[in-house]
Amino acid sequence: MSAWRWLPRGIVLGVIAFIVFGPLVNMVLWAFTERWYFPHSLPLEYGFSFWGRVFAPRGGAIESLTNSVLIATGTVVLALSLAVPAGYALARLQLPLRSLILLAFLLPQAFPNLPVYINIARIFYTFGLNGTYLGVVLVHTTHGLVYAVWIATAAFAAVDRELEEAARNIGAGGLRTFWTITLPLAAPGLMASAIFVFLESLDEFTGTYFVGAPDVQTLPLLLYSASAGGNYQIASITALILLVPSIAFMFVVERFFKADVLARVGR
Amino acid sequence: MSNRLLGPLLVLPALLVLLLLFAYPLAYSVVGAFRSDEGVGLANFVKSFELYRRDILFTFLIVGLSTALIALFAIAIGGYLVLGNNPTAVAVLRWLYRWPLFIPFIVAGQLMRTFLAKNGLMNGMLVEAGILTPLQTISLLDWRGIVIAFVWKQTPFVTLLVSGAMASLDRSMFEAARNLGASRLRILVEIIVPQVARTLLVGLILSFVIMLSVLSVPLMINAQTPTMITANMAFRINAYGDYGVANALGVISYVMAGAVAWIYLRYAVAERMDQR
């Protein structure tokens, strides 16, 4: 009886699993395919020869990967050095129009951003920032700032005020209290915001396409040009490299987000 | 230094970045949309409608349909997670639905490009399973491919928000309704969804705007006509350096996003009136 009751559930879950994993399995197959053509349902030959080609000096993957990691690191450093003071002020200090300021950081995500990137590229061109690492880092920072500021604000708001007051009472100054008490206690939340910003930058396509290409080549741009050229193996290998951190983060995100921080995001 | 000055001073650098790298180019795009060789006027918009009328409509329909499907799936998955009887099935579903959450659009585009093709794995598996014959297979790499990629990628995001809101509702209410004989579907539609409507709307509007500005998916899945206006904007810039028409299309996409935001504001105002 109970086995029969599992039948509809099993079918629905199976269909969902097919929808979720089918495209992923197809990509993994392509990444290790040597030969695969119509009408064969599965690859005819598996192997690593395309991996060798992608990671060869002229394949572009090493250069793109290095660029992507450098840009994402630069974006994290810049975004957090803006967001830590801003988040602290939004969480702890007197601020006129506080909720309006918080909302303002959401705007780059709440507007269609492609026309904005087109015009940033045009403005950057006059300053010589087009096709430079700094230009791309600036674009990614603006886009990631909402995560950085909102999560930093929530992380600082979750720090127990009494601990700060205790430090002040035994004579620590404002700055010392911040460095020795507030910042270490907010660190896990800030770490989460750093990972968010890093991933956003790693995955960003549109802004890099207009501001960076063709001088600054990142993994998403390499993926796009390989796919446009019909080279599914190289596109799938690049996609796989981008996929691993995304999926890993999906599994650990809840460990970084303590409930007390999560409940305060956007407030 | 007084606290009164310190706060604004600490927020200022981040706000300046926002002003210079978001507000300024945004204003620049709006101004640029109204400027052409003929001076200030609507010439760019006239040209946009002449060239891309179909694509504008197509974009609105694709993103609208995707948003509707995302809403449906998010409510269904969220509803099962909160009302499901079988803990194992609930746990499996909770583990399953999230996988695409942080997968970038460009990767989703590439995945679907290979999966949905005429000789892709989807058709291959349907043929192997005897559901289709090789002659019946079709490529879904047109508007349907874009919708599938959007729904695949954005459903987990909205579901995460919605199921979080559903989990925080008072469970005793559902149990009372069940004791009175209400079906689970009815509890979901009449009791749960109205209470999480606000969260659902926020998630859907953000998804709508995000999908409206995705360039990689239409470029990778379907760059022929009709396509999305993001692909047209990139084409105007890359092929002609035509910022006027690109900006006019940009303003049209702001109007679409604004129309959706307006629906939300009306809803929020009506909700506030009800509470009084």
Q: Which pLDDT score is estimated for A88?
A: 92
Contact between chains at B7 and A93 (C-beta distance less than 8 A): yes
Q: Please identify which residue in the block is written with the tokens 């559903």.
A: B166
Q: Which pLDDT score is estimated for B214?
A: 93
Q: Which fold has domain A60-262?
A: MetI-like fold (1.10.3720)
Q: Which pLDDT score is estimated for B223?
A: 63
Peptide bond into A112 cis (omega under 30): no
On chain A, the residues whose CB falls within 8 A of the CB of B15 are 86, 101, 104
Tell me how many helices (H) and strands (E) chain A has. Answer: 14, 2
Instruction: Measure CB to CB from residue A109 to each of B3, B8, B206 and give the nearest one.
Output: B206
pLDDT, mean over chain A: 86
DSSP labels, A156-172: HHTS-HHHHHHHHHTT-
Chain A closest CA to B172's CA: distance in Å?
22
Contact between chains at A9 and B89 (C-beta distance less than 8 A): yes
Q: Where are the domains of chain B?
A: 1-33, 43-275
Hey, is the C-beta of B15 within 8 angstroms of any chain A C-beta?
Answer: yes
Contact between chains at A246 and B102 (C-beta distance less than 8 A): yes
Long-range own/partner contacts, residues B33-36 (CB < 8 A, 24 or more apart): B33/B244, B33/B247, B33/B248, B33/B250, B33/B251, B35/B244, B36/B244
The torsion region of residue A263 among left (phi > 0), alpha (psi -120 to 50) and beta comes to: alpha
Q: Which fold has domain B43-275?
A: MetI-like fold (1.10.3720)
Of B26, B182, B192, nearest to A118 (Cα)?
B26
Contact between chains at B119 and A235 (C-beta distance less than 8 A): no
pLDDT at A261 over 70: no
Hey, is the C-beta of A211 within 8 angstroms of any chain B C-beta?
Answer: no
Are A30 and A233 within 8 A, CB to CB?
A: yes
Cα(A182)–Cα(A165) distance, rounded to whole angstroms?
A: 11
On chain B, the residues whose CB falls within 8 A of the CB of A217 are none
Structure token pair of residue B274? 């009800």
For residue B96, the one-letter residue type is L
Hey, is the C-beta of A38 within 8 angstroms of any chain B C-beta?
Answer: yes
Are B165 and B80 within 8 A, CB to CB?
A: no
Contact between chains at A41 and B124 (C-beta distance less than 8 A): yes
Contact between chains at B11 and A85 (C-beta distance less than 8 A): yes
Are A149 and A104 within 8 A, CB to CB?
A: no
Contact between chains at A116 and B13 (C-beta distance less than 8 A): no
Are B237 and A210 within 8 A, CB to CB?
A: yes
Q: Residues 229-248, chain A: which have Cβ within 8 Å of B?
A: 232, 235-236, 239, 242-243, 246-247
Cα(A252)–Cα(B77) distance, rounded to whole angstroms?
A: 21
Instruction: Measure CB to CB from residue B7 to each of A23, A95, A247 and give the nearest one.
Output: A95
Read off the pLDDT of each residue in A241-254 and give the average, rounded to a whole number: 84
Of A51-60, A198-207, B185-194, B201-210, least confident by mean pLDDT is A51-60
- Give this prediction's pTM: 0.90
Cα(B242)–Cα(B240) distance, rounded to whole angstroms?
A: 5
Cα(B234)–Cα(A93) distance, rounded to whole angstroms?
A: 43
Cα(A204)–Cα(A143) distance, rounded to whole angstroms?
A: 9
Coil, strand or helix at A123: helix
Size of chain A in residues: 267
Are B149 and B143 within 8 A, CB to CB?
A: no
Cα(A159)–Cα(A174) distance, rounded to whole angstroms?
A: 15
Q: What is the pLDDT of residues A7-22, one digit of tens each?
A: 888 899 999 999 999 8
Chain B closest CA to A223's CA: distance in Å?
8
Residues of chain B under the 50 pLDDT cut: none
Size of chain B in residues: 276
Q: Which pLDDT score is estimated for B178?
A: 85
Q: Which residue of B has its CA nearest to A112?
A: B213
Q: Which pLDDT score is estimated for A194?
A: 92
Contact between chains at A105 and B18 (C-beta distance less than 8 A): yes
- Output DSSP code: residue A45: E
**Does the interface ipTM go beyond 0.85?**
yes
User: In chain A, what percentage of residues exceed pLDDT 70?
Assistant: 93
Q: Which pLDDT score is estimated for B173?
A: 84
Of A43-47, A189-193, A194-198, B168-172, least confident by mean pLDDT is A43-47
pLDDT band at A267; cut points 50, 70, 90: low
Q: Which pLDDT score is estimated for A147?
A: 87
The torsion region of residue B92 among left (phi > 0), alpha (psi -120 to 50) and beta comes to: alpha
Q: Which pLDDT score is estimated for A230?
A: 80
Structure token pair of residue A138? 């600036």
Continuous segment of H or E residues that includes residue A66:
helix A61-92
Cα(B22)–Cα(A107) distance, rounded to whole angstroms?
A: 8
Task: Please state, as a whole number, how many other Cβ atoms lie within 10 Å of the Cβ of residue B41.
Answer: 11
Helix A183-203 to helix A61-92 angle, to the nearest 10 degrees? 140
Continuous segment of H or E residues that includes residue A34:
strand A33-35
Hey, is the C-beta of A220 within 8 angstroms of any chain B C-beta?
Answer: yes
Continuous segment of H or E residues that includes residue A74:
helix A61-92
- Where do you find CATH 1.10.3720.10 in chain A? 60-262
With helix as H, strand as E and coil as C, how does chain B read? Answer: CCHHHHHHHHHHHHHHHHHHHHHHHHHHHHHHHCEECCEECCHHHHHHHHHHHHHHHHHHHHHHHHHHHHHHHHHHHHHHHHHCCCHHHHHHHHHHHCCCCCCCHHHHHHHHHHHCCCCCHHHHHHHHCCCCCHHHCCCCCCHHHHHHHHHHHHHHHHHHHHHHHHHCCCHHHHHHHHHCCCCHHHHHHHHHHHHHHHHHHHHHHHHHHHHHCCCHHHHHHCCCCCCCHHHHHHHHHHHHCCHHHHHHHHHHHHHHHHHHHHHHHHHHHHHHHHHC
Of A48, A118, A212, A192, nearest to B229 (Cα)?
A118
On chain B, the residues whose CB falls within 8 A of the CB of A39 are 119, 134
Q: Residues 233-262, chain B: which have Cβ within 8 Å of A?
A: 233-234, 237, 243, 246-247, 249-251, 253-254, 256-257, 261
Which residues have CB under 8 Å from B30's CB, separation 6+? B247, B251, B254
Angstrom distances, CA of residue B213 to CA of A113, B8, B19, B76, B257: 6, 32, 20, 27, 10
Instruction: Measure CB to CB from residue A26 to each of B104, B121, B247 and give the nearest one.
Output: B121
pLDDT at A35 over 80: no
